[in-house]
Structure 1
């Protein structure tokens, strides 16, 4: 009798477990949504604080009056307000500087924060509602060589520099509203100083390596007719099946050309700001600063989507850029046209391990030629 009771109780557990799991998953997702709502409210307050340029002006320069601004706009500020450079008649206090401050703090900073924060919220909602994109078919265990060690090293170096520049740039733009309040002036001053040094010195390195990366990837990112269908199907989210894609799909090509256009504009404007000793005036540097900030904030927002899709968002995507190899199933589903070109070059896991062992030992191992 006792054994029957135990058996009955055990048999009920599997039928109840899915309901419990579903209940806890709903509670967990509702909690995440509430957290996002609270975070968005906090970000909106931060955006409003950024847009209040008059309050910042009172803190930065409390002695400025309407009469002084009239004097500045008339150009009669005198030698005490002049640029210290030799033979310069440029006034350090000028109305163009106030225009730059208004544009930067009233428009660029708050809307940039909304753009980056909004992208984070959209990605989080997409993940919790739609979830990760898993492979439709089981993995075959056979691998296709996709990225060489050189390309992987170049990619991760550029990616690390991009993330570092994004974080330091965000700190320079918004840090005073966050870290100064949390940690005080001493810690905040150290963070700003470190951010400025890192941003100024790593920026040119990033720019040079980005150009190298873009040149290496150019031939695989030429737009094709099937890329239009890729966008119509939302990369496979709309309709059934997967859209055609070569070595790079439509989304990857869009990211490439965004880097090749807006990315290079950000790099160029950064060089203008980083090297002021080539004769450019402050008016030029003010506009370069606005262009740099708008482009960098936009790229950061889009990069968050690229990072999500290439890591937790899509099963198998990260493997190619970490090991150099992708599974046949992944290649067939996401890059079917490229798969048809290289499917005869698939290797078993044992062959891949043997190749890596031979490469590390300096042996003569013939690796599959990457596309």
Structure 2
């Protein structure tokens, strides 16, 4: 009864008034994101200014000390604490790494992530949410098992935590230290480091398990190229053909299977420095790790948008395990043709769940 009342009240609004409200709050979100992106400019400038960063990180280093380092002089004050090491504790290769990180990697990360946020906001404001073309039938198709949903959400949660802690390690000093002071900043950076170092290996292992589990459904097919040419249905009158996974989902899968595994591997090099890798190796691993992770974070924002508020019905698949027939037919028509005979009403699903005490099936129907 409540739903009927709300629907009737909404329908009493004139169409022009609904459009005003819709565009108004979208404009508010857009302006908020644009202001946030403008606020990133000083942060990028601070990162690119290596002298300013050095003054914050290690104010005691003098020009004479750098002269000694560059000339190759070593001594008790500059010797590495590692056993049998010929490195200087302060070394020229470390300065090269810092220049690359501050002048290139950090600005790249801000541009990639901030740019993606602005693009998503503009897309949502101009195009809006992708609604289903036809009404829902009320009949559902099973898509994801409880095990796969749990694995997906665990990997996704770890990815978000690692992204936030990584961004804090890279940029947080210029934001939170200024806002909250050294005491709070010290606690934040310490917690970020511990979480990042200990959750990273767990994420790597579970990511490999997830990639192996999804491999069969993400083998590229000829129709995936057509999907990209039609921009996933943004161009043309009809949705492009798609199997269980469409072209965009396959692209995200293979990005994780390539760049994602490189990020994991470089993270292991940094996390376990007791296998004989040199300082130079770890510096390059740090650069590779940061570039890959920042790029993945930017693309992940698009994936999160499309899978949540960007497309009607998509989130239901990973929360309930089921999708409506209409959603399957419009977004994954080739898969729909394979499984359409397995569609069930919500009553049938509820009865099946109660009989099986949980999920309707232990695996995806064939």
TM-score (norm 2): 0.93
In the TM superposition, residue 181 of structure 1 has moved relative to its aligned partner by: 1.5
1:341 matches 2:334: no
1:152 matches 2:149: yes
Q: Does the CA-based 8 Å contact 1:263-1:299 persist in structure 2?
A: yes
- For 2:141, what is the secondary structure of its paired residue? strand
Counterpart of 2:129? 132
Cα 1:75–1:39 change in 2 (3 A) is same
1:370 matches 2:359: no
In the TM superposition, residue 32 of structure 1 has moved relative to its aligned partner by: 3.6
**Counterparts of 2:293 and 2:332, CA distance in 1:** 30
Counterpart of 1:267? 264
1:238-265 CA distance string (max 9 Å, x none): 1111000000000000000000000000
Cα 1:126–1:156 change in 2 (3 A) is same
Counterpart of 2:207? 210
Gaps of 5+ in 1: 1-13
**Counterparts of 2:361 and 2:270, CA distance in 1:** 47
Q: 2:88 aligns with which of 84, 87, 91?
A: 91
1:334-371 CA distance string (max 9 Å, x none): 00101111111111111111111112179xx8778435
Q: 2:53 aligns with which of 56, 61, 73?
A: 56
Counterpart of 2:240? 243
Q: 1:306 aligns with which of 295, 303, 306?
A: 303
Cα 1:20–1:141 change in 2 (3 A) is closer
Q: 1:219 aligns with which of 197, 208, 216?
A: 216
Q: Does the CA-based 8 Å contact 2:259-2:292 persist in structure 1?
A: yes
- For 1:240, what is the secondary structure of its paired residue? coil
In the TM superposition, residue 107 of structure 1 has moved relative to its aligned partner by: 1.0
Tell me the number of residue pairs that the alignment of Structure 1 and Structure 2 aligns. Answer: 356
**Counterparts of 1:277 and 1:254, CA distance in 2:** 35
Q: Does the CA-based 8 Å contact 2:233-2:240 persist in structure 1?
A: yes
1:196 matches 2:193: yes
Name the larger-Rg structure.
1
1:322 matches 2:319: yes
Counterpart of 1:6? none
Gaps of 5+ in 2: 1-10
62-71 or 266-275: bigger deviation: 62-71
63-72 or 291-300: bigger deviation: 63-72
1:109 matches 2:106: yes
Counterpart of 1:161? 158
Cα 1:229–1:366 change in 2 (3 A) is closer
1:66-85 CA distance string (max 9 Å, x none): 33222212211213311112
Cα 1:329–1:80 change in 2 (3 A) is same
- For 1:139, what is the secondary structure of its paired residue? coil
Counterpart of 1:8? none
1:283-312 CA distance string (max 9 Å, x none): 110000000000000000000101111111
Q: Does the CA-based 8 Å contact 1:44-1:114 persist in structure 2?
A: no
Counterpart of 2:7? none
**Counterparts of 2:269 and 2:48, CA distance in 1:** 26
Counterpart of 1:71? 68
- Map 1:168-183 to 2 at 5 A: 168-183=165-180
**Counterparts of 2:14 and 2:354, CA distance in 1:** 45
In the TM superposition, residue 199 of structure 1 has moved relative to its aligned partner by: 0.4
